[in-house]
Amino acid sequence: MAPTREADPHVSRTSRGLGLELVRQLARSPTNRVIAACRNSDRATALHSLTSGAKGDLHVLELDVGDPASIRDSVKTVEHILGDSGLDYLYNNAGVNAKIDDAFGLDCGDFMKALEINVAAPALLAQAYLPLIEKSQRKVIVNVSSRYGSVSLDRGPTWPVYSITKSALNMLTYKQAKARPDLIVISLAPGWVKTDMGGPNAALEPHQSVEDQLRIVTGLTPQDSGKFFNHTGEVYPY
């Protein structure tokens, strides 16, 4: 991503939606080395189709963020791809919502699954990949959040599980930033985007959100660590 580097490595979960668009845009640059993670590589036809037209170095990695063993095992593969290079950007993009939209009627199984994917998985990924991040000069972790994760901005009773887990993800970002001042760790709300989760009436096309996201992420400085941004660069309250 940065023109001063021969190749900037990135890891993200990317089989569809914003993740797929993120890979599409990153792979356009010959200076980027992109490692795109997805749960079922055999089914990720749209993702694999990007490899033929990629100007950069694009690798597809099978990784189930809901499986701690899969997370740990993936590190060796990424380390082999990177060689002596470090991991410049870890982009935690995976997220799920629960079926029941009622704070007094939560299904425990759905709730725990959302906590696992939206909070525990980014925490474990950062932990597992920390040695590779430490080898980089950039050392950036992006936790993809939502305005629903802000108590100040959330507008009512809808999406309680998603809101709760994204608030927890924001706190994870804050704690990671405080624990490691040598890293740049941010939460980033991508906006209301036309994806499977956002629906067809959303305000943003995926390419618009990703363009904005990458502009923010590539311009981050150590002073930005611990902050919660929206896709335009505005700092959101926690």
- pLDDT (tens digit per residue) in 191-233: 888 877 777 777 789 899 999 999 999 999 999 999 999 999 9
DSSP 23: H
Q: What is the pLDDT, as a whole number, of residue 16?
A: 56
CB 88 within 8 A of CB 9: yes
Exposure of 167 in the CB half-sphere (CA atoms within 13 A) = 13
Q: Beta 8-13 vs 32-38: how paired, if at all? A: parallel
C-alpha distances in Å from residue 51, one per residue of 34, 86, 108, 166, 222: 10, 22, 40, 32, 33
Helix (H, G, I), strand (E, B) or coil at 21: helix
| Residues in Cβ contact with 67 at an 8 Å cutoff, skipping those fewer than 6 apart | none
- Of 10-14, 51-55, 70-74, 222-226, the poorest mean pLDDT is in 10-14
Helix axes 206-218, 17-26, angle to 10 degrees: 60
Q: What is the pLDDT, as a whole number, of residue 12?
A: 44
CA distance 175 to 183: 12
Q: How confident is the model at residue 1 (pLDDT cuts 50, 70, 90)?
A: very low
C-alpha distances in Å from residue 136, one per residue of 10, 30, 49, 206, 226: 11, 19, 29, 28, 19
pTM of the model: 0.91
Which has the closest alpha carbon to 35: 10, 7, 52, 55? 10
Q: What is the pLDDT, as a whole number, of residue 196?
A: 75
13, pLDDT greater than 70: no
For the residues 151-167, what does the mean pLDDT come to? 91
166, pLDDT greater than 80: yes
Q: What is the pLDDT, as a whole number, of residue 222?
A: 98
Please name each of the domains of the chain with its CATH number.
Answer: 8-230 (3.40.50.720)
For the residues 75-97, what does the mean pLDDT come to? 95
What value does the mean pLDDT of the chain take?
90
Secondary structure element (H or E) that encloses residue 212, with its range: helix 206-218
CB 163 within 8 A of CB 98: no
- pLDDT (tens digit per residue) in 15-59: 458 999 999 999 999 999 999 999 888 888 899 999 888 888 999
CA distance 205 to 29: 21
Q: How confident is the model at residue 100 (pLDDT cuts 50, 70, 90)?
A: confident
For the residues 67-84, what does the mean pLDDT come to? 97
120, pLDDT greater than 90: yes
Q: What is the pLDDT, as a whole number, of residue 8?
A: 46
